[in-house]
Amino acid sequence: MLPTFMPVATQAAIKGLTAQQVESLGVTLILNNTYHLNLRPGLEILNEAGGAHKFQGWNRNLLTDSGGFQLVSLSKFTTITEEGALFASPFTGEPTMLTPEESIRIQHTIGADIIMQLDDVVSSLITGSRVEEAMHRSVRWLDRCIAQHECLGKADTQNLFAIVQGGLDPQLRDKCLEEMISRKDRVAGYAIGGLSGGEEKALTLHNIVFQAQVMGRAREAIINGTFPDYLRSFFNQYFGDAGYPEWCVNALRTVGVDLLEGKESITVVPGNAAKWEYADSSTL
């Protein structure tokens, strides 16, 4: 059921909770970090454990990122070339080359149900030629990820997702999305990358709405001319009767969609996160 809340278990652990406690909360999907698991505990230990599911005692779905985000978060330790990303370990300084092929191989060992392509990620605050360079490289790296994924025979057991890049430039994102969709028969899904990196929330949501066509129901709504109604229905289901966050209402108004249309009784509450922001709201 979408949308779903996906806790981040960077190193195969949710801090302060056991896997059983997380599952009892109704969580069906968690995220592990490819880069960090490759460093510690390492692939040898994960292999001996039978994969990350068994290593952390998690029986539900598991998603791994590709290591691409570390191109931004560990940028001072990283050199990016067409071959891949050369990292210096933040622990030992030892160099590690993460290529698209190696990223896929690591994620196969981890055993995640959903795996991500290695993409060239730049900060969402960066503008200029570097953004376009990263977008085109992400497409080229996707082809290498697909080839490795299929060559190793995992296409039927692990779902490879493409990641749309292009910074805050709608034209670059549209171009990247077209490239990704042209490979739809060789990927299982799509992710929207390179956002929520410090830019205005309105820009983030504008890009998400712009790329919502990757979702089947949204695409159908666009074709039928009912996309605003689709968005109102989507957010009504997501936020329910708790009220809409002010940033969400204002952001969608910038692209011509008024979430409050026909819903005068819905309250608008301060907040800058997502559904769980209401934990501190007086509306509960």
Report how far residue 149's alpha carbon sits from residue 134's, in angstroms, rounded to the nearest whole number. 22
Q: What is the DSSP letter of 89?
A: P
d(CA 170, CA 177): 10
Q: What is the largest CA-CA distance in the chain?
A: 59
- Single-letter amino acid, residue 283: T
Predicted pLDDT of residue 210: 52
Range 56-78 average pLDDT: 84
Task: Summarize the confidence of residues 59-64 as an average pLDDT.
Answer: 96
Q: What is the pLDDT of residues 118-164, one digit of tens each?
A: 999 887 677 899 999 999 999 999 999 999 999 999 999 999 999 99
The band of 202, judged by pLDDT with boundaries at 50, 70 and 90, is low
Instruction: Answer whether 161's CB lies under 8 Å from 187's CB.
Output: yes
The rounded distance, in Å, linking the Cα atoms of 139 and 137 is 5
For residue 129, the tally of other CB atoms under 10 A from its CB is 8
In DSSP terms, 210 is beta-bridged to none
**pTM, to two decimals:** 0.71
Most confidently modeled range among 59-68, 109-118, 215-224, 243-252: 109-118
3-class state of residue 188 by DSSP: coil
- Give SS3 for 50: coil
In the numeric block, which tokens belong to residue 253?
A: 């108004």
